[in-house]
Amino acid sequence: MKQYIKPHPWKIIEEGLLPEYNKVSESIFSLGNGKIGQRGNFEEYYSGETLRGNYISGIYYPDKTRVGWWKNGYPEYFAKVLNAPDWTGIKITVNNQKLDLHTCKITEFKRVLNMEKGYFRKRYTAEFPDGKKIKVKSKRFLSIVNDELGVIKFSIKPVNFDGTIEVLADIDADILNSDANYDEKFWIEIEKSTAVKPYVISETKKTFYRVCTAADIKAKYENSEIELSNLEKIEHEKYVGFKFSLPVKKGKTTTIFKFAAVTSSLYYEKNILAKEAYDILEYAEDKGYETLLKEQEDAWHQKWEESDIEIEGDVSAQQGIRFNIFQLNQTYTGQDERLNIGPKGFTGEKYGGSTYWDTEAYLLPFYLSTAEQKVSKQLLKYRYNHLEKAIENAEKLGFKNGAALYPMVTMNGEECHNEWEITFEEIHRNGAIAYAVKDYVRYTGDTEYLAKYGLEVLIGISRFWAQRVNFSEDKHQFVMLGVTGPNEYENNVNNNWYTNLQAVKTLQYTKESIDFIKEKYPENFKTLAEKTKFEEKEINHWKEISENMYFPYDEKRKIFIQQDGFLDKELKSASELSHLERPIHQNWSWDRILRSCYIKQADVLQGIYFFEEDYELDTIRRNFDFYEPFTVHESSLSSCVHSILASKIGNEKHAYDFYLNAARLDLDDYNNDTEDGLHITSMGGTWMTIVKGFAGMRIKNDKLNFSPFIPKKWKSYSFKIGFRKAWLKFEIFRNEMKIANESDFDAEIILFDKIQKIRKKEIIKIQSTVGNA
């Protein structure tokens, strides 16, 4: 664990340049706007260890699968969001000495991610080998007002000399993905120019996406603009740059402004990419830096108005949750139903930037509650649009009659994960996607979505489950063999409790939905039945399965058994492991892990979290107390579920500790892997630990339900929830609650099992003994 980030409620601050942590910091200081993103790399030369990264959502490459033993059904490629052309370069040279932050003497270094206003800035003093010193300040942001625009302000002040500096402002499209299976470069050059404003048009191999990256350079000396003359125009393969000299004087500031436009064939015809990029640069020039920055700050202010969580009395917790919310808001905006959210967002290349079941399980609730309804709906439409591919995926594995198996990893709906225990066995992802349909409809009341899109998805998934189970003559029940549950430290197990549960719940909800749509949307159902060739006898079979599914259960302990044979393991608490063995996936053989009792992330507890309303409190407590000690929490998705359930059973210490682990997972690099990128998809879970955990939010009978408590370290906390037409702000104190209805619609909630009405624009105070858990 690393704790070099300074505590602050609104800022992420690193003081002192720490080369050994630079790749971690590059992840932490990442920027994005939903369409483009980049790691927190330096604009200057840096010869130290670094992972330069710029990413464009939706632009990917099908990297040929690399496995030792090919099996039927394997995907032919692993889709990867590509490291895209780098436009950030502002390289400085003084007297033939490069400003290299790794080789120059750097003092007074500070970099800051201003989450409140949406920009990244840094400052430092650099001393060159000949003794010359300069002070540097830079500020960079990716506009969320115009999501194809990036902006840099870069200022230089000589400390002890007059002279000239040489500036190289470049665009580098000769990029390599660090995770390329065969060290292949994925971009080819189509066109480049330095005639007016420099640009490079690149095209991806195989997928043929085109991207134009263009830039414009301005400069000022103190407050006066400098005309850039005698530009040296540099061109070589997949690279363009402008080199120029600027006069500088001791104590006086020279500032360079770099505006960049990134346009792609996802949104424009290929033959007009350069024109569109130039139009964006002209827009930026007309606005000017200060106006663009002000618009950025105003736009982020609005985002925080909708999604902020404020904590009083615990700066570490406050910084953590805002960091998570900031990253969620800059990763996905819901503007394009073709886009989704990769586990690393715009912050790194691990997991290929592809979509996993994380979206439905951990991210959807955040967007449901903090953004307009169309944002969460886009996430569900993404899966609907991939239904035909999901059916094809199932067919490749031998399933028939419209059965749908959604991919574990995807960009375009095709499965592209290349590990057999994931591709073939971790089929519980289907259940998360079905659950998301229910979650969305229950939260929004949007039954029209169910009629037009959701039910068709549910039927496809239910057909898969019906074919995936088999009837055991020995048990006289249906069983599911050869699966991997959420705990990926177990493979090829039989009757994973969670997977069996998801199958049953999907079948039941599909039947309920069919009955509802038949009654409320009969024409839609008729059309759907014809399209899917649905037969009523399918429902009877689904009912038979759901009523006769086998679930492993321990009568002695009165707990659900994770899978057949789990209790045969040597049951030793994870607390008995030496810290030198942690994380076990980095220190143990896979054979040893598979034979152990150690659980990577919530498995049985994941099912209890999803379907908590089905279980009594004592049942939840028994299962939590049994499984948590064996859980090593080596998945970023683990802590949030444990925190929420700990809140439910009144275990405040566990609830708070797991919250802090989730909130500061990347800031403190708990798992020693932040350098690969941030854990974006788990950040939705962090939000849930407060709203669903500490505040106890649930949806019951079409109403918001709350049963809040306050962790001992906090004086108060507050958050906003958008629910259907209402917009409510909750402020929770030790002995009082305030609820403000900021909308024009009356609202009715359930608070501690009692109905509470809040009229439009009304603020109510409720005396309560919220206290601790």
pLDDT of residue 79: 85
Separation of alpha carbons 110 and 102, rounded Å: 15
Q: Measured between alpha carbons, how far apart are the two ends of the chain, in Å?
A: 28
pLDDT at 65: 76
Residue 216: name the closest of 198, 240, 195, 229 by CA.
Answer: 198
Dist CA 595 CA 458 (whole Å): 35
Alpha helices in 611-701 (DSSP H): 617-627, 638-648, 652-663, 680-688
Closest CA to 82 of 354, 278, 312, 314: 354
Chain centroid, CA 84 distance in Å: 19
Longest dimension (CA), the chain: 89
Give the pLDDT confidence score for residue 6 in this predicted structure.
97
Which helix (H) or strand (E) is 585 found in, with range? helix 584-587
Question: In this structure, what DSSP letter does residue 100 have?
Answer: B
Q: What is the predicted pLDDT for the residue at 68?
A: 64
**What pLDDT, on a 0 to 100 scale, did the predictor assign at position 178?**
84
Contact 37, 187 (CB under 8 A): no
The answer for residues whose C-beta is within 8 angstroms of residue 546's C-beta and 6 or more apart is 504, 507, 508
DSSP one-letter string for 369-424: HHS-HHHHHHHHHHHHHTHHHHHHHHHHTT--TT-----SSBSSSS-----HHHHT
From CA 340, how far away is CA 383, in angstroms rounded?
10
Cite the beta strand spans of 159-197 per DSSP E.
163-172, 187-193
Nearest one of 337, 312, 277 to 150, comparing CA atoms: 277
CA dihedral 305, 308, 309, 315 (to 10 degrees): -110
Mean pLDDT by 10 residues, the chain (773 residues): 95 98 98 97 98 95 76 79 95 97 98 98 98 98 98 98 97 90 91 95 97 97 90 96 95 98 98 98 98 98 97 98 98 94 90 87 97 96 98 95 96 86 90 98 98 98 98 98 97 98 98 98 98 97 98 98 98 96 94 97 98 98 98 96 98 98 96 93 96 98 96 97 96 95 96 96 87 57
- The Cα 119–Cα 153 span in angstroms is 11
**Nearest C-alpha neighbor of 654 from the set 618, 606, 689:** 689
Query: What per-residue confidence (pLDDT) applies to 773?
Result: 53
Hey, what are 92's tokens?
A: 């400085």
Which pLDDT score, from 0 to 100, does residue 80 have? 84
Extract the tokens encoding 741.
Answer: 């209805």
Give catalytic status of residue 488 as yes or no. Answer: yes
Q: Which of 426, 488, 628, 675 is flagged as catalytic?
A: 488
Burial of 249 (0-12, 13-18, 19+ CB in 10 A): middle
Length in residues, the chain: 773
> What's the pLDDT at 69?
65
Position 522 scores a pLDDT of 98
> pLDDT of 235-265, one tens digit each?
999 999 999 999 999 999 999 999 999 999 9
